[in-house]
Amino acid sequence: MKTDIDLRGLFVPLVTPFTDDLRVAPDALARLADEALSSGARGLVALGTTAEAATLTAEEKQVVVRVCAAACRAHGAPLIVGVGTNDTAAAITSLRRLTENGDVTAALVPAPPYTRPGEAGTLAHFTALAEQGGLPLVVYDIPYRTGQPLSPGALRTLAHLPEVVGVKYATGSIDAATMELLGRPAPGFAILGGDDAVISPLLAAGAHGGILASANIRTADYAELIALWHGDATGPARRLGAELARLSAALFAEPNPTVIKAVLHAQGRIPTPAVRLPLLAASADAVRQALNVVTAPAHRPR
């Protein structure tokens, strides 16, 4: 299963555009998907945190997956779909339903949130999903959201499962554990950075790509950053990475994806900046600062 899947490069976790009355806007989503794939993204992620998946109904989730799958088919690109729950049996059911779609390359699955089953329980959870879910898995390691860290040893154990094809690594830091993981990657196991502000050093240390919410805004530049590091163009990569880190900091000044949606709306790319509770719309100050960074003259790497 691993040998058939190439997850190197940039994956854009798309926002879910809403109308003024908070309905999903599928036409706007289709445009975003096409723009991302036309601008250098390797693939898309549907129903991630950036998509506000927690507040979408089952029917709305089906619409989002259908729209993203159509774009990926048209571009010959892989589609990763988020499946997040602390109920192992329910997660298996969700994975099996996604297999019926036929267009889903892999599922992005976090450690069981809130329950905090411990590392042994988390490994058992992922093993059950791998053996019974019917889809390749990308483990989502984001302990500051789930409350459940995964050690490099645990990730290596998961990497040896044939169905586990990668990790979205978003631990909030680059430390000794990060370097241990990147220093000994398992064959066929993609390490994708998930903390936008530090994607450049993660790529420098050996990450295969990234799943980056900030790339909703400047897809081509994030795709170029990955290509520069993979091509050993260290000077240009450092300069572009520093520029994009400033952008990411501005876009994450308030809870994701509130500022990103406000910028997309200001660019005329989605109909409204609306988000659903418990999220609140980004403040005017955060939006203004983000737009200042977005519209500043780009310092292209040389």
193-208 b/e (C-beta count within 10 Å ≥ 16 → b): bbbbbbbbbbbebbbb
Distance CA 294, CA 247 (A): 7
CA angle at 30 for the pair 297 and 11, rounded to the nearest 5°:
60
Beta strands 79-82; 9-13: pairing state: unpaired
Distance CA 209, CA 31 (A): 23
Active site residues: 140, 168
How many CA atoms does the CB half-sphere of 27 hold within 13 Å? 3
Structure tokens at 156: 């290596």
8 A C-beta contact, residue 171 and residue 150? no
Q: What is the dihedral of CA 176, 251, 191, 141, to 10 degrees?
A: 70
Where does the chain have alpha helices with state H?
A: 26-38, 58-75, 88-101, 118-132, 143-146, 152-159, 176-183, 199-204, 219-230, 234-251, 258-266, 284-295
H helix or E strand, kind and range, residue 7: none
Q: Using the structure block, give the residue that is written with the tokens 């975003």.
A: 32
How many CA atoms does the CB half-sphere of 186 hold within 13 Å? 19
Distance CA 255, CA 279 (A): 7
